[in-house]
Amino acid sequence: MKATDKPRWYKCDVPKNEMKALMQKSDAVGITHTALYLTLLIGLGVLAYRAIGTPWVIPAFFAYGTVYCFFNHMMHETFHGTPFKNKNLNGFWCWVASFFNGVEMVHNRYGHMQHHNFTYYEEDDPEIEIQRPVSIWKMIPKFFAVGLFNPLPIIRHALGNISDDAKQIVPKNEWNKMIWSSRLWLIGHGCVIASCFVFNTWLPVVYTLFARFYGAPLGRSLDLIQHTGMEVNVRDHRLCSRTIYLNPFTRFLYWNMNYHIEHHMFPAIPFHALPKLHEKIKDQLPETHPSWFAAYREIIPTVLKQQKDPNYCFTPTIPEKA
């Protein structure tokens, strides 16, 4: 499908004045959220360091890595430019979060825009986690971020050689920015690795590169809920995305991405307004899953059915009045 042929998506009814209020960005909210997240992360990092040499070292680093991996969701929000009203703040934290998440900002941001334009369209969505035929054995490694990070395109772009994928999704006037972002990414990661030799310790990579894997399960399990097993090639986010309820702490780490139908339907609405949006349109949505466990009670049987019938997809019930 060509970019000019992108689908016209169904949208729930929201009065214009209410939509305008929901779309208001806030530096104060974004700064507070980011500061609390970084305070938690640094605190857990200190505790993990102090636990070295004790039986608590593994659970301490697991807790640190779990929180670290939610840099992915800070990155995601800044891709949309919604956490902060100030564009420079969005740009700065987008690069920082992308770096710590192990990806290059420019290429991945445009890839994510492609995901929004063609959500779960099999030939056009670059973020489909598990292509059909789906299997449990393809799914399990995803919980540990296996295959999620690929530095080769970044190295290629840093050398000024634009990949075919980037040529398709990144505007030509952004190529130079992508090249320099890739070079900065390489320099940064080179410094992290070099510091291991300078200080004769593995800790710099344990706190960064390795954390992306050993801390991945919670964040990845939430990401896989978003679309796995849903309808493909449809123009209604209610059929190809899931919204679930989570406890406040997990929602904080996840930047409210549990309201995933709402986010896809109205991607310009900041993360902090998604709960309010949900309340306004929930009567137009499928029944919301009450928990992480409830979502997987739907996903696992769906994936098992897809192993036998690759064309099977779970179809949620949409309210008749919607």
Residue with more model confidence, 128 or 320: 128
- Residue range 21-45: average pLDDT? 98
Q: What residue type is assigned to position 103 of the chain?
A: V
pTM, full prediction: 0.94
Whether the per-residue pLDDT at 3 is higher than 70: the answer is no
Interatomic CA distance for residues 50 and 45, integer angstroms: 9
pLDDT in tens, 75-104: 999 999 999 999 999 999 999 999 999 999
Q: Would you state the pLDDT for residue 246?
A: 99
Kindly state the percentage of the chain with pLDDT values over 90.
92
What is the rounded average pLDDT of the residues 113-124? Answer: 96
Percent of the chain at pLDDT above 70?
98
pLDDT tens-digit series, residues 251-293? 999 999 999 999 999 999 999 999 999 999 999 999 999 999 9
57-68 vs 217-225: helix axis angle to the nearest 10?
40
When pLDDT is averaged across residues 136-155 and rounded to a whole number, the result is 91
Do the Cβ atoms of 295 and 244 come closer than 8 Å?
yes
Question: What is the three-class DSSP state of 259?
Answer: strand
What are the boundaries of each domain within the chain? 27-117+149-213, 119-148+216-322
pLDDT in tens, 286-320: 999 999 999 999 999 999 999 999 999 999 999 98
Residue 36 has pLDDT above 60, yes or no: yes
Q: How many CA atoms lie within 13 A of 158 on its CB side?
A: 17
- In this predicted structure, the answer to whether residue 1 has a pLDDT above a threshold of 60 is no
- What pLDDT was estimated at residue 322? 58
Using alpha carbons, select from 138, 143, 164 the residue that is nearest to residue 153. Answer: 164
Spacing of C-alpha 12 from chain mean position:
23
